[in-house]
Structure 1
Amino acid sequence: MSYKGKKATPNRKGTLNFKVEDNKELLPFLLEKMSSRSRNSVKSILTRGQVKVDDHIETKHNYSLRPGQIVSVLKNKVAVKESTLIGMEILFEDDSIIVIQKDAGLLSIATEKEKRQTALHQLMEHVRRDDPRNRVFVVHRLDKETSGVMLFAKSEKVKHKLQDNWKSMVKERTYVALVEGTLKQSDGMVKSYLKESKTHKMFSIPDKNGQLAITHYRKLQSNKQFSLVEVKLETGRKNQIRVHMSDLGHPIVGDKKYGAKTNEIGRLGLHAKILSFTHPVTGQLLLFQSDVPKSFMNKSR
């Protein structure tokens, strides 16, 4: 069974959309468009993650806007508190699992700095509206700046079944990446052993003292500056795609950590497009698909 996700947006009744006409920083732009609100109120809306620029959540006050971009603001505070999921959309839910589409800019789980504005926390509140005893468990993660399809479990039993049998139950994990430069080969495979530095940066080593990582890639389209690449994971290591694209000499756009020199789209150019797996309870084969962000397509034409 296949499910295709729409672009993740909040309830339209509670959303304001503004088109950018001139180069301007985000906070001054919002203050101008939302002149009826106080400066502190607008800053709070930004900080809470209620503002999207095109296809990603943006919280930086000094983010540089460009003409043609669309700024969306979730305006209904009641909706935020009671029912609206910010920066994500539920694609599928039953008694065992929840599948979402996550926006770039939303954390998967809590960090020391951010506890509440995460996919996990929002889903926990979502399931507890039916029963305060309900819980949600992380099965796998997407980096904060990576968008796309993500899976959660609704019990520890289901979580362990998925994690313990991940390699056999997951049939496909396909990403798209916007990378710098033009790939010489139209397709190929990268294989290395990954290790983590003391500064939490992953890197490839030639020997077997790291974790085996295998990435298959295929160029979809390109110009002189950027290439759009489809990536399929044979293994799922931390930052695997980011490291391997950098190893090829084509770091992902916006990925300064792994050598990118550009940030043309204002976010990391990585999107989890397809997740296909066997349902842990029913045994049914499910496939979830999320559209490639328009900014990826436009920059690589």
Structure 2
Amino acid sequence: MPSKNMLPKGQRHHSVRAEYRATRGVEDAPEVIVPILDFENESDGEIQFEDGVRSFLADPAAAGLRLDQYLAQAIPDISRARVQMLIEAGQVRVDGSPAKPKQKLKGGEALEIEGEPRPEPLHAVPEDIPLDILFEDKYLAVVNKPAGMMVHAGAGSTDDERNRGTLVNALLFHLGAGKLSDVSGDLRPGIVHRLDKQTSGAIIVAKDDSTHRKLGDMFSRRMIQKTYIALAHGRIAKDNTTINLPISRDVIRRTRMTTRRADGRTAVSHVQVLERLSTPYGPFTLVEVRIETGRTHQIRVHLQSMGHPVVGDTLYGAPHHIGPAEGGTSLQRNFLHAARLAFTHPKTAKGMDLDAPLPEELTSFLESLRTLAASVE
């Protein structure tokens, strides 16, 4: 039975079976049909932007789609969650009237989006959470973040539990209120860049706005060297590989990124093999990855694009369990660690070269694979 969200029979549709199957890393994923709306040759679908208001006509092919679903496709730089936030805040109008959260389109409506999403401000509270501080002075700190800790609460989150246990909460306790930069706003005080929740390692925190802005400029100009350690499934044949593939959000699973869209942002990763392991559970490759850019999930999606997902990264195709059902092993996090940051201090001009040691759960897992590899040699 067709999905209720499919376009009417005879209207434009697009099969993404191959893309869906490849990006999921699953051999036999079912065919998925989703509407792909294209404005390039539709004069009445052209988006105008004036005085902070986006305005355009809904494509006729959008008939039957929910407004939030359509807008998330029509404007790729706004997620569906942010679109819903805009609708609920009364910032979206359909034919001049405020949009309704579950409104269905007929096609051809005049749509207006005013401004940007305005999530409720978070009120993060200081929490006494242990921190491994690799370096600290009056301008900045470099922290070795553990896996499982979010850097900050998600935008628009008002759940008290989601606003706790983050790196921001820990920083507010250890450094004190008012001792972090305000450049990133109330949601991310002091946060210059991010690490994924399940990625551990070195992250820079700014204590004042001037330092924050200088660090941000250094990141954008690629003046900060970021080096990661990852364990990938399979045998990577070349000792050195540069992956230069653009990254954008997956149109099917919005929590994922992909290299398979032409509108992605430039992303460059340099992969160097450190060790290859042949075990009864299959081959693995330990790699060092230096990234020139800092796109969301960059290393994870780049390694997956090579057919070598990061161990433990089930979002990008890694198995939940390694080896036979009876026995075997598993890793309850991604084997990805920000091992080194090298940069020139933005205030003192001193060369900084900071190493974050591999955490115990990763060293133990790696040693267990080395033991298995030795047993089959």
**TM class, shorter-length:** 0.5 to 0.7
Give the CA deviation at 1:155. Answer: 1.4
* TM-score, length of structure 2 as denominator length: 0.54
Q: Whole-Å Cα distance in 2 between the matches of residues 196 and 189 of structure 1?
A: 21
| Structure 2 residue aligned with 1:106 | 149
| Structure 2 residue aligned with 1:201 | 256
Q: Whole-Å Cα distance in 2 between the matches of residues 206 and 119 of structure 1?
A: 33
What amino acid does structure 2 have at the position aligned with 1:101? N
| Structure 1 residue aligned with 2:173 | 125
2:357 is the alignment partner of 1:291: yes
| Structure 2 residue aligned with 1:85 | 129
Root-mean-square deviation over aligned CA pairs = 2.1
Aligned residues: 216
Structure having the larger proportion of residues in strand: 1
Structure ranking higher on relative contact order (CA contacts 8 Å, 6+ apart): 1
Give the CA deviation at 1:84. Answer: 5.1
Structure 2: any 5+ residue segments left out of the alignment?
1-124, 181-188, 322-329, 371-377
Residues 219 and 145 (structure 1), Cα distance of their counterparts in 2 relative to 1, 3 Å cut = same
Q: Whole-Å Cα distance in 2 between the matches of residues 180 and 295 of structure 1?
A: 17
Q: Whole-Å Cα distance in 1 between the matches of residues 244 and 364 of structure 2?
A: 29
CA contact (8 A) 2:128 2:173 kept: no
What amino acid does structure 2 have at the position aligned with 1:195? S
Q: Whole-Å Cα distance in 1 between the matches of residues 170 and 234 of structure 2?
A: 38
2:182 is the alignment partner of 1:134: no
Alignment of 1:1-301 (within 5 A): 85-86=129-130, 88-111=131-154, 112=157, 113=159, 114-128=162-176, 132-135=177-180, 136-168=189-221, 170-198=223-251, 199-205=254-260, 207=262, 209-224=263-278, 225=282, 226-263=284-321, 264-292=330-358, 293-295=362-364, 297-301=366-370
* Bigger CA radius of gyration: 2
Q: Whole-Å Cα distance in 1 between the matches of residues 365 and 302 of structure 2?
A: 19
Give the CA deviation at 1:82. Answer: 9.3
Q: Whole-Å Cα distance in 2 between the matches of residues 283 and 108 of structure 1?
A: 27
What amino acid does structure 2 have at the position aligned with 1:221? E
Q: Whole-Å Cα distance in 2 between the matches of residues 249 and 299 of structure 1?
A: 23
CA deviation map 1:43-83 (0-9, x unaligned): xxxxxxxxxxxxxxxxxxxxxxxxxxxxxxxxxxxxxx999
What amino acid does structure 1 have at the position aligned with 2:237? K
Give secondary structure in 2 for the equivalent of 1:170. Answer: coil
CA deviation map 1:74-119 (0-9, x unaligned): xxxxxxx999533x31111111101100111111111335112111
What amino acid does structure 1 have at the position aligned with 2:291? L
Identity of aligned residues (%): 34
Residues 284 and 163 (structure 1), Cα distance of their counterparts in 2 relative to 1, 3 Å cut = same
